[in-house]
Structure 1
């Protein structure tokens, strides 16, 4: 059904309908043009083709269709984009069991009602409201983030939701109530807490994080919703729904520790801030963030727990090729403290962020008394992170960094890295779970096209955009020269390359006079023909040298004759 659904969505929505809410588009010939939503550009280089249902961003070298666009802007996978666009187009996706869908809808409804209940209670409770306002959270921010308050009562939310028609089993399944001892009614999970709704990427509330209001209590500082059919803490980031566009804009994710840190970071202009909810940073979290940017800055507390969180993040991030940095916040403060004191302090702290390897080296040095112990700890605690880095260039860079920091040679560091890799290999062979993962950098293919390929691609794409009579003329001559049809050549191009060249040539055709366009492609055909002849001559010369080296006079004579023929064509 997915293929049918995709087509139905494309039939009902144009790509302009999808992109216009994100980008201010203006007419540019047969296309639309605007400023890139992916970069902070001043000159518009983002093009949309209503005719082909495609877009291309020249400033970030990425393009695609409406589904690709929604994936990038909303930070979702294809299924997520399909759901968003299906809702917008009014297309029903037939996949989920109706009973399960009804169950999920009920959970969304009860959590939404709970959110409204908490919001109203915050507005009505001066103590709770003053607490939030005293932390410099504005009323506008309170409304935007739907911050609320859970009363200091055992069953106030339960009773409210029961009156709204929700039974206790639904409350328990939604993580809003807990079962009591036999004979007693379920009771509220959240009591006397400032409530932060946790939302999915599309902005629907799926869970809560509650911060205790009273200071003189043994209760945990934060209580998060238990995992439910809607909420998996290993896959959800607090604030992600509001941070997606900011991560695009700033080209990095800012990971902070608590809900107030996220809210106040956004209030201070850092609209790329997110936080985990009751768990360490996971691969699922990183997958979400990497859809938007490959750069992450951690701004966590500088206590032992914060440093441990940095190490866990390094464990999962470095092996994925993420550029992970740490903004060190001194004096037992957190991002929220810096924002309250002066928003510029947070900006300065982020500006001084260092790569996680350098950060951990500095922390280790502060904790170690003598040079020898520092070296041994760096070997045991820092070098394993280097092994997980895929890029050999990056790894070598940090090998130099470690060598300089601990006062040894880079050769010594490389030997230690080789030893660690060998240990990891041996553990793998024994079937044990290695403490260090040895990864091999994939071979990188060269991406520099020859002039000949560029010319052929240019002419093949241009042919598809010309008026029918001129198109046939160009296509026939292209086949005669290269032996390749324009259609065949276009199928060999990557989608990104094809999209970029198509948009470029569409603009060119819209702005240039037809006579000059004709002169242009005729000139390029001549250049292509010469390039092909020169390439053939070079190959014949190579074969001639090989024949002469082998003493094959007959073959050498044939190659000489072929070279003469090609030269005559070259100068004709």
Structure 2
């Protein structure tokens, strides 16, 4: 057995997927909302026996390896190593690609840099200035440990000396990791100098970059410096605190989005732990997808200045496609969450508790931006809000917001409604995709009665008692299946010896045949609402029906051939003999119905 096969057999797809998204048992399947596209009705199925998953909304499908590659962004080698580690299997023979090896080296040197920075902050005398700075910002030792905060020396080559001269890592590797820069004179120097260091982790908890906050900088020093884009670090995907506070986010079912690392650190000290910080001024599509995977509600707490309001509006637009509930925290103007928390942690908790809907925020922002006492101001407000209100799908909610806006403007509700209709008329909105039922999502193929019964028998075979798996397959092997691939699957299973389970049998099938079984069972179950337990009585009844349909189909075939022979006025002797044989066969078949 290959090591890949060994890892596959030792892994459980339900554990792999269930530890990352919410799935619930539904008969012989697990199901949940698809993590690969936005939806309200669950169309994502996981089969524990076949070790496969498929979404009948977007079509994504595969095994545990495929899921980790698509969901976590792992390479095949990383997925293999991850599952091997979980199963306590030591990989020996698998050869990694050059990219995989480089990635491992980068992760190694970045983690060592994190340890170096953390040591300087927590144990070395040179870190006293940073320790004092953090103390003044009310950052306690527990937070320093949780987030592994660090300190970079103010000199030009502290980290480089440690990693290159002492640990013998190449300068090229350090540059690729974003830790050092090459000057105009050709000499290298540390990227981060004299700063409090925040390790930036990916969704798997690996350090992929850093953010450095200046302590006592000159006017030309940037307040924050971040790692550049590298093989591992991508700003558009980075959420500070996501890895460290993941379990709190999952438990809360909601996540607060802020702009700064200190906002996250001090918030968790105030016991508001479901919080992350973006890198940049607004959410990206990648951020939105990541947040939607783990939470039902996103609360935006970006800056309250003009730039912050613009960023909040942009973030709302990005999050609309994810189906999460969207709310906004009204942080007092001129303060960021960190300042508010340091002044009064209780006030921050109250702010979180009294968030407003995205629509309420957008309405308030429009009335702040424009003068509602002038005709031109009223017009601009409605130009701003017509697109917003036209996207409210629930009639009661829409009525509420129309009433609110009309009262603020001092106009009739019908006037606001007219403006919304006018916007819809002149700017055709993309037609909202209607949530389809599972039956609509899965277009049932036009099958003959025999093909339908074949599928039903296969469904019973693979969802029933595994102790009877081979025996039942041997019974089915007597039939000639019309559905593509089923003959090969049934005959292969019928030839098995010893103890066989669906999982161990399917592991050795080609990928296309694995998918054939999964698709057939899932489709049948979806459009038939089957809830079978595969009992002996049900199996015998199903097999008898398949036998009857097979005979009926053969009779129909013979009847057609006889009709063709009857139409021939001058039959040959061979044709006469053939006709007699067919007549005898049809008599025997009818006796067996």
TM (normalized to structure 2)?
Answer: 0.63
Residue 178 (structure 1) aligned with residue 181 (structure 2): yes
Report what 2:109 is aligned to. 110
Residue 262 (structure 1) aligned with residue 253 (structure 2): no
Report what 1:442 is aligned to. 433
Structure 1 segment 147-546 matched on structure 2, within 5 A: 147-163=149-165, 164-182=167-185, 185-214=187-216, 217-371=219-373, 372-386=375-389, 389=391, 393-394=393-394, 397-398=397-398, 400-407=400-407, 408-409=411-412, 411-425=414-428, 438-446=429-437, 464-465=463-464, 494=522
Alpha-carbon spacing, 1:195–1:104, altered in 2? closer, same or farther (3 Å): same
Report what 1:10 is aligned to. 8
Q: Which runs of 5+ in 1 are unaligned?
A: 39-47, 56-62, 426-437, 450-455, 477-486, 523-572
Q: How many residues align?
A: 459
Conserved in 2, the CA contact under 8 Å of 1:299 and 1:326? yes
Farther off after superposition, 85-94 or 488-497: 488-497
Structure 1 residue corresponding to 2:81, chosen from 86, 93, 99: 86
What is the CA–CA distance in structure 2 between the aligned matches of 1:272 and 1:234, rounded to whole Å?
20
Conserved in 2, the CA contact under 8 Å of 1:327 and 1:354? yes
Q: How far did residue 253 of structure 1 move?
A: 2.1
Alpha-carbon spacing, 1:20–1:160, altered in 2? closer, same or farther (3 Å): same
What is the CA–CA distance in structure 2 between the aligned matches of 1:13 and 1:87, rounded to whole Å?
10
Conserved in 2, the CA contact under 8 Å of 1:9 and 1:91? no
What is the CA–CA distance in structure 2 between the aligned matches of 1:279 and 1:104, rounded to whole Å?
28
Report what 2:511 is aligned to. none
Conserved in 1, the CA contact under 8 Å of 2:406 and 2:412? no
What is the CA–CA distance in structure 2 between the aligned matches of 1:160 and 1:167, rounded to whole Å?
12
Conserved in 2, the CA contact under 8 Å of 1:173 and 1:228? yes
Residue 76 (structure 1) aligned with residue 67 (structure 2): no
Q: How far did residue 50 of structure 1 move?
A: 7.3
Structure 2 residue corresponding to 1:141, chosen from 140, 143, 146: 143
Q: How far did residue 324 of structure 1 move?
A: 1.7
TM (normalized to structure 1)?
Answer: 0.65
Q: Which runs of 5+ in 2 are unaligned?
A: 36-45, 54-60, 85-89, 441-452, 477-489, 491-515, 542-593
Task: State the SS of the aligned residue for 1:137.
Answer: coil
What is the CA–CA distance in structure 2 between the aligned matches of 1:401 and 1:92, rounded to whole Å?
63
Conserved in 2, the CA contact under 8 Å of 1:190 and 1:223? yes
Q: How far did residue 261 of structure 1 move?
A: 1.1
Report what 1:435 is aligned to. none
Alpha-carbon spacing, 1:326–1:96, altered in 2? closer, same or farther (3 Å): farther
- RMSD across aligned C-alpha pairs, in angstroms? 5.1
Alpha-carbon spacing, 1:118–1:265, altered in 2? closer, same or farther (3 Å): same
